[in-house]
Structure 1
Amino acid sequence: MLFTDLKLIKPILDALIKEGYTKPTPIQQGAIPHILAGRDLLGCAQTGTGKTAAFAIPMLQLLAKPTTMQGGGQRPIRALILTPTRELAIQIQESFNAYGANLRLKNLVIFGGVNQGPQVNELRRGIDVLVATPGRLLDLMSQGFINLKDIEIFVLDEADRMLDMGFVHDVKRVITKLPSKRQTLFFSATMPGEIQSLANSILTNPEKVEVTPVSSTADTIEQSLFYVEKDNKKSLLAYILADKTIETALVFTRTKHGADKVVKDLARIGVSAEAIHGNKSQNARQRALSNFKNRTTRVLVATDIAARGIDVDDLTHVINYELPDVAETYVHRIGRTGRAGASGISFSFCEAEETEALRDIHKLIGKQIPVNENHPYHVTFNKIMGRPKQAVRPQRPPQRSFGGGRSNAERNRKYGSKEPQRR
């Protein structure tokens, strides 16, 4: 099937040709006809399957039709896309700009962490499509700058990520402000019970399109596992990046501190790298992402805030410097490469403390990641698991906190000593 088979209007087809698009991905093949027919849609697809285009392209075609707006008043907001992160919101807007380049439709992206003034000014000029994160949307609604009474199409994107980040109640507040007569498009990589209940409450006789469940990894991604001692991880990363054919690499760490440390380690060996995580300002995050996209920066080091929010053309390598705590996150991480049918490569480092996480990943994806032994820091699985445990210090009488809870020592023994990090 080609995009020309999907009954798209010429302005959109011309824009897609300019972007180099010819064949729709499975999620696009399944979703676009239903959306063009005005049906509600429940889309379940993993990251990297072309989901944004699956809703953006038909929405633009529907919105391009003449409206019944009378007079020369301010154009109302006709479509709302709600998404969990700033990075994803910006990239959705970029997609609307690309696919709608030949249409007279205006869009705006709003998110928190930046001055609201420019966003408010654009709202006053009038827009057709609004891409928003929940917090800033509710804030501007409460100030009277946004009215959703004219929304024709509502998209809830990355619904399961909304749940993970604690945004579900905000989403429900937004939904109460939408007109009952609308088209709703609901996308999620996974469908836990709470997300399924939310979908059932806002969709009307939806068509369901499901493509490649989250438990699978794309066949186009070549995966490799590197067993390595924890202290040798930075040396292994340097060894891998000594290969100049790796022009860009997205490196994942579990914590913000870990991301900053990897950047410093790479700087010492002359590799240009920047970090992107929750402690960075919005401007710093966007600058780092832009530098990575235009290849001014060779390596982008990210926490899982970026696992579903980074879309970089021709990204060939993803490196899991640290394995994620949640197995599904592994699929989302490596899905940053091998997108929309392209090939990609993922390298994952594993030391003794990460073997349990590795077992969870293998169980989820239903196969073993091939082990790469061809590097100077290789250590066998049996060896890292058979390492003598660190000497245990003599036990001291437990010291209770003033609040009567567990002491730090007790808490560390039960839950581990790592402080939880904001993603």
Structure 2
Amino acid sequence: MTSHRFSALGPLTGAISVPGDKSISHRSLMFAGLAVGRSTIAGLLEGEDVLATAAAMRAFGAQIARNEDGTWTVDGVGVGSLLEPKTALDMGNSGTSTRLLMGLVASHAITATFVGDASLSGRPMKRVIDPLAMMGAGIEASAGGTLPLMLRGASPAVPITYRLPVASAQVKSAVLLAGLNTPGITRVIEPVPTRDHTERMLTGFGAKLEVGVENGETVIAIHGEADLKPMDVTVPGDPSSAAFFMVAASIVPGSDLTIRNVGLNPTRAGLLAVLRQMGADIEEVNPREVGGEPVADLRVRHAQLTGVDVDPAIAPSMIDEFPVLFVAAALAKGTTRTSGLDELRVKESDRLATMAAALTSVGARVEEHEDGLTIHGTGGEPLRGSANGRVKTMLDHRIAMSMAVAGLVSRDGVMVDDTAPINTSFPTFMPLLEEAAR
């Protein structure tokens, strides 16, 4: 374990670039790996999760290489032509890799075994198993529908119309990916909108995809069997990684920080809206579109935040940003209430319980409910911090980074028990923090 004390460093200033978007990085490797021909990817996030996707796509027959200039070249294997992996696919900590690749295998005549680390092996896969089994895939999972798991694809798979029982972009994407090699039209009905990177990027790669509205619900239809064409992808900066710096610059007095090239897809920009509602000073500079995704530079200046009641309807568009929002709430004036966050209990850790305990241990006033937290802010006064003890992050990268941000506004600093998990999504987090606070 690599523990580290994060202490008040002074204002965050200058300009930084966060790594490429994780969701888009995963998908760019998968879809380029399914196209026939050569694609180039710039700005790929080179964290452990995305590298697990690259390794799996190689096992399916795609050729993937990193070039000296940091771009990646992918020679695809073609939809319908996946090879059967010779060994189990190790997904590490990546729920996205697992659920999307399960969808891919489900409509190919191959068998693949998925394994992962202890944290991933506790996460629910039944939400993906159910629709894929309806399409004809054979799935043998561990007790409780978790990894390790063996999946036998169906050829041909059967097109289905599937209404999402939980708001999950990963489940939606798994069904759409299975639909790529399924004759006919596969439909997903989405009662609550979730991130739409799959739809945007599949369209860019040449899939025939229609998005419509029926009875107030979004319906996404994909036509199989698809032929994907190669495409050059530029991955925007990850809004979930930018989130830590948006909150840090908002709550550290004297800060004026620009975060370059941040993806502002509306299905992901919930935190930006909530921070502005709390009184944050965040300006979008040079808004532009890159590869079908909206992007801007964000200039964030310190502001006194005020507690708010967070609308549960916004949760899917900021589900990964709640841990760091809780830190912003702990420094705000007044009370912040969140609800409708049951999904946070089945992330890399139970993020409601873990953040409630972590923030309480550094002096914040937090009440935990079944589906959210109520946080009584300090009004901008520094948190006490953790003089002696270590904050338990439960091997969860977002908890570790959120508590690092809390350390920047604490009297005694915050000792994070293990910073190693940060590498799964944001390998440059600690160097960037030091650069911004110089």
Asked if these proteins are the same fold (TM beyond 0.5), I'd say no
> Which protein is richer in strand relative to its size?
2
TM-score normalised by L of structure 1: 0.33
> Which protein is richer in helix relative to its size?
1
TM-score normalised by L of structure 2: 0.32
Rg bigger for which structure?
Answer: 1
